[in-house]
Amino acid sequence: KAGVTQTPRYLIKTRGQQVTLSCSPISGHRSVSWYQQTPGQGLQFLFEYFSETQRNKGNFPGRFSGRQFSNSRSEMNVSTLELGDSALYLCASSLPGIHTEAFFGQGTRLTVV
Amino acid sequence: AQSVTQLGSHVSVSEGALVLLRCNYSSSVPPYLFWYVQYPNQGLQLLLKYTSAATLVKGINGFEAEFKKSETSFHLTKPSAHMSDAAEYFCAVSVPKTQGGSEKLVFGKGTKLTVNP
């Protein structure tokens, strides 16, 4: 069974640009969540999607957005990149239901220069 | 608000020694707690989870954790450390949204485990 796939693995962008990250969940998983990991702030929840609807959102500015497609694949977009957006972005998928296990991808390492 | 606190950002043990990684939680409702491990340049892998079925939870790779309500703790242990256990470990609590059937994981800051030969 294939795991959660995130592409690309590494990205280098310039301040002011925008970026789109992709996440393909495990087959059958309809819930997809995104997390940002930085040395200073640790792991922080960005948002969660289920059946193409955003159900939950963390405390991030509106520059951070996402969407989910009918096949459960998800993308997140960051516009007007800032140096502080440099981070490892992790996607997790899970089966429907609460307290189910979240399976994480390997992440996308974004560097903003 | 539900949260977790991991005591000790770095823990160093000798190979074969006991591993003890500390996690304390704060929750106004019965918590659902998790331990994840992250190897360098990798995502997170679930080690074990507590869902109120049993207070002693056994996970993968010989790890286990005991839920102690009186101490609001969920410490992770392994009797004998192996070199391959060197990684960063995260304790997390599942926080449900009041409406909408959604939830999120709130993580501790992590503990980096070093295993010395």
Residues B114 and B15: beta-carbon distance below 8 Å: no
Number of H helices, E strands in chain B: 0, 11
Task: For residues B18 and B81, give the distance between their C-alpha atoms in angstroms, rounded to a whole number.
Answer: 6
> Who contacts B73 (Cβ-Cβ below 8 Å, separation ≥6)?
B22, B23, B24, B25, B66, B67
Q: Which residues in chain A (37-56) have CB-CB distances under 8 A to chain B? A: 42-43, 45, 48, 50, 55-56
**C-beta atoms of A42 and B108 within 8 A:** yes
Interface list for chain B against chain A, based on CB atoms closer than 8 Å: 32, 36, 41-46, 49, 51, 90, 92, 94, 96-97, 100-110
Work out the end-to-end distance of chain A between its first and last CA atoms, rounded to an integer number of angstroms: 37
Give the span between the Cα atoms of A57 and A107, in whole angstroms: 19
Mutate: best of B47, B105, B109, partner A, most A CBs <10 A? B105
Q: Supply the pLDDT for residue B100.
A: 64
- pLDDT tens per residue, range B74-105: 999 999 999 999 999 999 998 877 666 678 89
Are β-strands B64-68 and A108-112 bridged in parallel, bridged antiparallel, or unpaired?
unpaired
Averaged pLDDT in 10-residue chunks for chain A of 113 residues: 92 98 96 95 95 93 97 97 98 85 95 98
Tell me chain B's radius of gyration from C-alpha atoms.
14
Identify the pLDDT of residue B101. 66
Residues of A numbered 84-113 whose beta carbons fall under 8 angstroms of chain B's beta carbons: which are they?
Answer: 90, 92, 98-99, 101-107, 109
Best CA proximity match to A34, nearest among A58, A1, A70: A58
Measure in Å the smallest separation between the Cα of B42 and chain A Cα atoms: 5
Cα–Cα–Cα angle for B41, B59, A104, rounded to 5 degrees: 35
Contacts across the A-B interface (CB distance below 8 Å): 63
For residue B28, name the pLDDT band (cuts at 50, 70, 90).
confident
Q: Given this model, what pLDDT does residue A2 score?
A: 79
Radius of gyration of chain A (CA): 13
Q: Is A60 on the interface with B (CB under 8 A)?
A: no
- A58: its two tokens: 């963390």
